[in-house]
Amino acid sequence: MHMADALISPAVGGTVWAASAGLIAYCSKKVRDDVDDIKIPLMGVAGAFIFAAQMINFTIPGTGSSGHLGGAMILSILLGPYAAFLTMASILTVQALFFADGGLLALGCNIFNLGFFPCFIAYPFIYKLIAGEKPTQNRILLGATTASILGLQMGAFGVVLETLFSGISELPFGTFVLLMQPIHLAIGIVEGIVTASVVSFVWKSRPELIQKAPLASPANRISFKYVLAGFLVATVLTGGVLSWFASSHPDGLEWAVFHTTGKEELEAPGHKVYSLLEKIQEKTAFLPDYNFRTTKEVEAKEQEVVMDSGTTVSGLVGGALVLVFAAFIGFALKKRSGTGSHL
């Protein structure tokens, strides 16, 4: 479920990062304004709990595989959506930094997929709707299960869209959706049942913990609208700026074409004009990739096939050389720093 830096483009990563950063800032303000300052240590410890809980597995009946607790829904129920979102963001940050699970730039996407959807969509609009003002055991069970499942589905769909817009993976939309949604439906059902059973245990032994949480931070409809609006503006702005920036080197093939033709300008002067025109067209076109992509890609591919293997070979040889060089630098520096540390 965690997206990796390797699969996203800077434009997508940057845009979603901005959105997530905005949400973190907004939630931080909300939590700070909260009168109940016990939330601050509670968030930290609850985050650590989610981490620890993922270390305890249980066997899924009939399958022999094992599952563990997902985080966002149980946090939302206990802490309210704002604190839960911050806690999820911090958990994902630790995972990204320590386990390289996800990446620094993909962190924005991961926080959005695994935090925003469950905390701000599934919790207020599904869980609270089903559990209601005066929750009962069955309502909590049903609400927590449904909200977990749907929250995870939305998150998985977010992964699909972000990967698709990045264009690094070749997976077409339909296949990717068919791949992601059913897998996450299965995971969601298991996570939902576990979440519901843990929540209902807490409800049975300490009902005030469940009842208190929604009161402490009511989902304020008006301010939520502001947040959505602000976040839309931020998205459009960053998306616009970044994609404009990105469109001057839109994808590998186009960049490769420009690059190789740029290199071979002495042998084939016609190519320079070609690439220049292309660049002008890219700069002036409103949606640069849409109008000539197909023809261009084909042309680009043809060109690369025609391209004599000399360039490729030199690329490979050079790559190997540079790699050896990198390793050499590594060893040389290690020796130096090794002797340095003895001093």
**Helix, strand, coil % in the chain, rounded to nearest 5:** 80, 0, 20
Cβ distance to other proteins smaller for residue 25 or 129:
25
**Rounded distance, CA 250 to CA 329, Å?**
33
Triad 51, 76, 82: Cα angle to 5°: 105
DSSP-assigned letters across all residues of 133-172: SS--HHHHHHHHHHHHHHHHHHHHHHHHHHHHHHT-S---
Does 329 interact with other proteins (rule: CB under 8 A)?
yes
From 136-144, 214-222, 223-231, 313-321, span contacting other proteins (CB under 8 A) = 313-321
Cβ distance to other proteins smaller for residue 125 or 211:
211
Determine which helix (DSSP H) or strand (DSSP E) holds 66, and give its type and residue range: strand 66-67
Contact pick of 205, 284, 295, 339 for other proteins (by CB under 8 A):
205
Does 234 interact with other proteins (rule: CB under 8 A)?
no
Residues 251-310 contacting other proteins, CB under 8 A: 251-256, 259, 263, 301, 304-305, 309-310
Q: Count CB-CB contacts under 10 A for residue 228.
A: 11
Does 326 interact with other proteins (rule: CB under 8 A)?
yes
Dig out the tokens for 244 from the structure.
């404009």
- How far is residue 19 CA from its own chain's centroid? 11
State the binding string over 134-153 for other proteins (x if CB under 8 A, else -): --------------------
Dig out the tokens for 231 from the structure.
């976040």
**Rounded distance, CA 116 to CA 118, Å?**
6
Cβ distance to other proteins smaller for residue 129 or 173:
173
Does 246 interact with other proteins (rule: CB under 8 A)?
yes
State the binding string over 161-200 for other proteins (x if CB under 8 A, else -): --x---xxxxxx--x-----------------xx--xx--
Residues 69-128 contacting other proteins, CB under 8 A: 69, 78, 86-87, 89-91, 93-94, 96-101, 103-105
Residues 211-230 contacting other proteins, CB under 8 A: none
Residues 17-76 contacting other proteins, CB under 8 A: 24-25, 28-29, 31-32, 37-38, 40-49, 51-53, 55-61, 69
Count residues binding other proteins (CB under 8 A).
Answer: 111
Using alpha carbons, select from 2, 10, 34 the residue that is nearest to residue 213. 34
Determine which helix (DSSP H) or strand (DSSP E) holds 208, and give its type and residue range: helix 207-216
Cβ distance to other proteins smaller for residue 150 or 246:
246
